[in-house]
Chain A
Amino acid sequence: EIVLTQSPGTLSLSPGERATLSCRASQSVSSSYLAWYQQKPGQAPRLLIYGASSRATGIPDRFSGSGSGTDFTLTISRLEPEDFAVYYCQQYGSSPQLYTFGQGTKLEIK
Chain B
Amino acid sequence: QVQLQESGPGLVKPSQTLSLTCTVSGGSISSGSYYWSWIRQPAGKGLEWIGRIYTSGSTNYNPSLKSRVTISVDTSKNQFSLKLSSVTAADTAVYYCARVGGSYLPHFDYWGQGTLVTVSS
Do A and B bind? Answer: yes
Q: A98 — which chain B residues lie within 8 A by C-beta? A: 49, 52, 60, 106
Q: How far is the CA of A98 from the CA of B62 in the complex (A)?
A: 8
With A44-B96, A101-B46 as given contacts, are A90 and B108 in contact (CB-CB < 8 Å)?
yes
How many A-B Cβ pairs are below 8 Å? Answer: 59
Which residue of chain B is the closest to A93 with respect to CB atoms? Answer: B106
B111 lies within 8 A of A99 (CB): no
CB distance from B47 to the nearest CB of A (A): 4
Which residue of chain B is the closest to A34 with respect to CB atoms? Answer: B107
CB distance from B86 to the nearest CB of A (A): 20
Q: B100 — which chain A residues lie within 8 A by C-beta? A: 99
Total residues of chain B contacting the partner, CB 8 A: 25
Q: A101 — which chain B residues lie within 8 A by C-beta? A: 46-49
Q: List chain B positions with a Cβ less than 8 A from chain A.
A: 37, 46-49, 52, 60-63, 66, 96, 98, 100, 103-109, 111-114
CB distance from A42 to the nearest CB of B (A): 9
- Interface residue? A67 (CB, 8 A): no
B107 lies within 8 A of A50 (CB): yes
26 residue pairs from A and B, CB less than 8 Å apart: A35-B106, A37-B108, A43-B113, A44-B111, A44-B112, A44-B113, A46-B111, A47-B108, A47-B109, A50-B109, A88-B46, A92-B106, A92-B107, A96-B60, A96-B61, A96-B66, A97-B63, A98-B52, A98-B106, A99-B37, A99-B49, A99-B52, A99-B100, A100-B49, A101-B48, A104-B46
